[in-house]
Amino acid sequence: MIENIDIAQLRAIGFDSHVLQTLSNLTPQPQQQLGRVINIQRDHLQLHDGQHEISTQLLPALQQQLHASGATLAVGDWVLFQSADARITQILPAKNRLCRRNIEGHRQALVANIDVALLVMGLDHDFNLRRLDRYLTLTLANEVTPLLVLTKADCSAQAAEKIAQARSHLPAHLGLLAIDGRADTAREALHPWLAAGQTVVLLGSSGAGKSTLTNTLLSTAVQNTGAVRLDDSRGRHTTTSRSLHHCTNGVCIIDTPGLRTLQLDSDEAGIYAAFADITTLAVDCRYRDCQHKDEPDCAVRAHISPDRLKSFHKLLRELSRETMTVLQKRAQLSQWKTISKNARAQRKAS
């Protein structure tokens, strides 16, 4: 256990029982301090020790270790750093880590040590239930509590209809709020999810209103905001990096840039955990191996929205492709070519 830790001071940046338990299992090193990553830039990192912000870098040995393992540091990580030069010497194991796959297929950590995820989605052109299912999978597969936050009701003539669609699409045990992200009433509505000591992350596409809501929750303009394009409601990426902000009541809020794509980093168990409503209903299907497509007496299709069921099937297909060997992918491609060739021949014959 590291000596001289001011727990009361660290609670302001999200110190909890998980961090305490992790520290109790460490062998103390001289001149080490505990801090939390609040911002990551290309050439430096920002830490907070509960009292001050500190600009720092990783020790070269730790940087090489991360590179060799394919791991990345994330905003929200707890770390140990040297008192003398503020170099990070160790990254503490996280209670959870939200990750995605980048274009090259490598794992990219988005944020770490999260309690609640506000899934922010506009009721304008940003409204997309299939994308929502990806964010639900990202959070639920990592045991993070999601809350759907719908914004911009004033920008959509179909706001009431879209809110109803979202309610019917969500599993019954998950929450939904429709708010004005600029108003103080948003802070009041979200109060039950903003308990002291918790870390809350805002996730969603660019232009959904995450930074506006962050400023409202913090009661100050810490994040830049901008207008969205009128034709598709896309934002202009005014938020360019993930950043952690702490409120006076002990809540930590992480704002994130909008994600153009969200390639999930999950296994089959994670997908089934995120679609627990489907897997629960599946036990009442007539056939044990029911695929919930066109089988008779399917208990799932009778209660789950078609869009959510399509998301479930699509994510399972993506996972199947990702886990294929090179030979399996070649065999599948050959099969598709044969099917396409036969279809063209049939069209010509008719």
- pLDDT tens for 262-309 read 888 888 888 988 899 999 999 999 998 899 988 999 999 989 988 899
Could you say which residues of the chain have pLDDT below 50?
224, 226-230, 232-233, 235-237, 324, 328, 332
The encoded tokens of residue 63 equal: 């940087």
Q: Which residues pair with 107 in a beta bridge?
A: 101
Q: Report pLDDT for 77.
A: 96
Q: Report pLDDT for 325.
A: 54
Yes or no: domain 275-344 corresponds to CATH 1.10.40: yes
- Are 87 and 56 in contact by the 8 Å Cβ rule? The answer is yes
Residues carrying CATH 3.40.50.300, the chain: 111-255
The encoded tokens of residue 47 equal: 């830490």
> Which of 94, 311, 122 shows the shortest CA–CA distance to 202?
122
First-residue to last-residue Cα distance in the chain: 78
Q: What is the phi/psi pair of residue 69, to 5°? A: -90, -10
The rounded distance, in Å, linking the Cα atoms of 268 and 274 is 10
> Which of 232, 228, 129, 144 shows the shortest CA–CA distance to 181?
228
Q: Report pLDDT for 237.
A: 45
Residues carrying CATH 1.10.40, the chain: 275-344
Q: Report pLDDT for 350.
A: 66
Residues carrying CATH 2.40.50.140, the chain: 7-95
- pLDDT tens for 311-331 read 999 999 888 877 645 554 555
DSSP 72-123: ---BT-EEEEETTT--EEEEPPPS-EEEEE-TTS-EEEEEES-SEEEEEEES
The encoded tokens of residue 291 equal: 């695929």
CATH number of 111-255: 3.40.50.300
Give domain 7-95's CATH superfamily.
Answer: Nucleic acid-binding proteins (2.40.50.140)
Q: How far from 88 is each of 37, 38, 58, 71, 92, CA to CA, in Å? A: 10, 13, 5, 15, 11
